[in-house]
Structure 1
Amino acid sequence: MCAGLAACAPEETPAPETEVVTVTSTEGQPGQGFVDKQAAPQVLSPAQQRVPEDLRARVASLMVVGVSNYDQARFALDQGAGGLIIPSWADPKLLTEPGRNINALREQYDRPFSVSIDFEGGRVQRHTGVFGEFMSPRALAGTPPEVIRGTGWDIGRALREHGVNVDYAPLLDLDVTNLDIVGDRSFNGDPAEVVRVASLFSQGLIDANITPTFKHFPGHGRASGDTHLQLAVTPPLHEMRELDMRPYGPLLSKYPRASVMMGHMIVPGLGPDGVPSSMNPEAYRILREGDYPGGVPFNGVVVTDDLSGMRGILDYAPTRDAVARAIGSGADQALWSSGKDLPAIIDHIVWCVHNGYIPEERVTEAATRVQQMLIDDSL
């Protein structure tokens, strides 16, 4: 269902009127002039120019779906999906088979698209037979700076060679309560140390032309459990602001072209009670405005955590509804690793727009950010 989306979607801030000021010398009075104000014609940014005019195509460009093989990838791209994710169960041939791999798809389609993967090192590194194996983030944090940055580069170079351009790493969650799902995936429990290591690792990815993704906002390190298994609750919002969100400001200030993954945690005091962050407009507002200690405004892409492969979120809402609620609340990309029901979900979001549950401006805003990310990727 889309019920309530229109009411809870972030308000759009009208762009300020733009004027063109022309200074022209008056005859007989060199060096003096008059100001002629006139309304400027609307000038679209390169990203805005690439946003599809067709609403269904615009909606489709916000979808990031899991694909297991070449034929599934073609189907998703034919539906207009703006992104693919390579899950652990994908056939490695999708990365390696000449003519039927990701690089071949990039040649076969005349539009850019993102291809992402979870590759942190350690416990979370997909298809190591193709990309290689790397130490855990915790172990990496104990190595010299050049090794940290070099590992980011080595991972990024392997990903880029096989057509992947977005890494859902590094993880910024703080390991302060020995939560197993975090553990050695975390660089440290100290926000300053997380910033130091994540910065070096991210720079390595960027050196290899890979977009890093900071996760999981607003912070999973002190959650009550694993959202893969059940919905998890964090400490209250004021405590999350003071500790868990702190790594994001310095890193987003340094790497504004990175993306951010919004987690599914429930944060007491954050917007409506009991609503996961990924479907909570207040979580997106805080991230966008940098409304936390050391925060900075962020206008890059925000992608959801998996909306199909995590029991906690499926118990809260089926994938179709979760996608609608996430986009209506402020997500730019809705991610679901199963890739199931893509055409029907696109149609459902279009229906939500036509019936006033999701403002069309929200879709256009998200699509513009996605296109800007793809432009940045090509630079």
Structure 2
Amino acid sequence: MTTTTTPEPEPDPAQVRQQVASMLMPGVVSYDDAKAKLEAGVGGIFITSWADPNLLTEPGRDIHALRAEIGRPFDVAIDFEGGRVQRFSHILGDHPAPRDLAATMSMEEVEAKAQEIGQSLSAHGITVDFAPVIDVDGGGLEVVGDRSFSQDPRLAGDYGAAFARGLQRAGVHPVFKHYPGHGRASGDTHLGEAITPPLPELMGHDLIPFEEAFVQAPGAAVMVGHMVVPGLGDGITPASLNNHAYGLLRNHHKFDGMAYTDDLTGMAAISNTMSIEQAVPKALAAGADQALWSSASDINAVIDACVHAVETGEIHPYRLQSGAQRVAHRLDSMQ
């Protein structure tokens, strides 16, 4: 008896291009820049700290006008944690750092404060806040410091979850960062390679806030940082490009929300060794649902590089489907 197998259908090139584009979140600096990148099909845009403030305030040339012109749902993200990381605070409001919030407020009060922040972001068309930081302070790193709620892992997670719930109540998508924990890394990923303690040590300390927060604020997203984790995969690849980091997130923590990378161009831990056209396909192949970057780039060149990675098998078809479906679900929820 002869058996035959039906070959897998060839993927539709237009669909592949649409899917990979949806998994990108480039930085934008102006209305026209944002419009061009959205017209290329990206699923979201990131308002950089050096963007034209008119993108948030100018009638007919702001985010609301952009939504009307583009005519499809898309995310608009910003870094707004409070304290030293709160972009355009003269427009969006000025709020205390996370450490100060935890020192002076109950968790219910922090949730209310985050809702206040979220309401301001939402009023200006912003749908994703790359906050809260739930790294555990205590490693002496200036890049963490008062951006962390606490040196106690469980308090860091509890307060982070309260902040996330407040954003959610305002209709803004919170993003826990920087998985799997930057607090005790050897350096700042903005400046170069940063190595965490070995994975077993992370499991007993730095990963605890993520475990707490994922349970207490379901539906939130996560940002995977650029730290190298000994014992996680080859112990050389930054977590944001490391399929073992995403495997830990999905399989160990049972996290099923959106996973973003940290900035792939504005941080030397990545940009010292690869271009954006190299980094983005690696991130998507590893498990990121949306690759984030801030620096100027040729959006079509990045999309082309991702399409090529699909065609050559670097990005597995299942990986493309799962990431694109998660983005589609996120965007559908906005309608």
TM-score by length of 1: 0.83
Structure 2 residue corresponding to 1:322, chosen from 279, 299, 311: 279
Out of 298-307 and 248-257, give the one that drifted further. Answer: 248-257
1:240-259 to structure 2, matched below 5 A, reads 240-259=202-221
Q: Deviations 1:68-120 (Å, cap 9, x if unpaired)? A: 00000000001001110011100000011111111111112221111000000
Match of 2:294 in 1: 337
Rounded to whole Å, the distance in 1 between the matches of 2:67 and 2:217 is 26
Match of 1:308 in 2: 265
Rounded to whole Å, the distance in 1 between the matches of 2:196 and 2:102 is 25
Structure 2 residue corresponding to 1:358, chosen from 315, 318, 332: 315
Rounded to whole Å, the distance in 1 between the matches of 2:231 and 2:211 is 21
Match of 2:75 in 1: 114
1:247 partner SS: helix
Match of 1:183 in 2: 145
AA in 2 matched with 1:252:
F
Match of 2:245 in 1: 283
Indicate if the aligned counterparts of 1:301 and 1:370 stay in contact, CA closer than 8 A. yes
Q: Give 5+ residue unaligned stretches, structure 1.
A: 1-51
Rounded to whole Å, the distance in 1 between the matches of 2:83 and 2:35 is 31
Q: Give 5+ residue unaligned stretches, structure 2.
A: 1-12
Deviation at 1:138, TM superposition (A): 0.4
Match of 1:82 in 2: 43
Rounded to whole Å, the distance in 2 between the matches of 1:150 and 1:53 is 44
AA in 2 matched with 1:101:
D
1:7-86 to structure 2, matched below 5 A, reads 54-86=15-47
2:333 partner SS: helix
Structure 2 residue corresponding to 1:261, chosen from 217, 223, 227: 223
Indicate if the aligned counterparts of 1:210 and 1:377 stay in contact, CA closer than 8 A. no
Q: Which runs of 4+ in 1 moved over 6 A?
A: none
Rounded to whole Å, the distance in 1 between the matches of 2:290 and 2:89 is 26
Rounded to whole Å, the distance in 1 between the matches of 2:105 and 2:177 is 23
Deviation at 1:125, TM superposition (A): 0.4
Rounded to whole Å, the distance in 2 between the matches of 1:257 and 1:197 is 16
Q: Deviations 1:175-230 (Å, cap 9, x if unpaired)? A: 01221110000000111111221122111111100110000000000000100001
**1:174 and 2:136 equivalent?**
yes
TM-score by length of 2: 0.93
Indicate if the aligned counterparts of 2:158 and 2:213 stay in contact, CA closer than 8 A. no
Indicate if the aligned counterparts of 1:138 and 1:187 stay in contact, CA closer than 8 A. yes
Deviation at 1:272, TM superposition (A): 1.3
Deviation at 1:143, TM superposition (A): 2.4
Indicate if the aligned counterparts of 1:300 and 1:373 stay in contact, CA closer than 8 A. no
AA in 1 matched with 2:320:
V
Rounded to whole Å, the distance in 2 between the matches of 1:237 and 1:199 is 23
**1:368 and 2:325 equivalent?**
yes
Rounded to whole Å, the distance in 1 between the matches of 2:235 and 2:200 is 15
Deviation at 1:53, TM superposition (A): 6.6
**1:144 and 2:105 equivalent?**
yes
Identical columns (%): 48
Deviation at 1:316, TM superposition (A): 2.5
Rounded to whole Å, the distance in 2 between the matches of 1:205 and 1:339 is 29
AA in 2 matched with 1:230:
G
Q: Deviations 1:222-275 (Å, cap 9, x if unpaired)? A: 000100001100101110111111111221123231110000000111101311
Larger Rg: 1
How many aligned positions are there? 322
2:313 partner SS: coil
Match of 1:127 in 2: 88
Indicate if the aligned counterparts of 1:307 and 1:335 stay in contact, CA closer than 8 A. yes
1:201 partner SS: helix
Deviation at 1:374, TM superposition (A): 2.0
Indicate if the aligned counterparts of 1:256 and 1:298 stay in contact, CA closer than 8 A. no
Rounded to whole Å, the distance in 1 between the matches of 2:56 and 2:31 is 9
Rounded to whole Å, the distance in 2 between the matches of 1:348 and 1:118 is 27
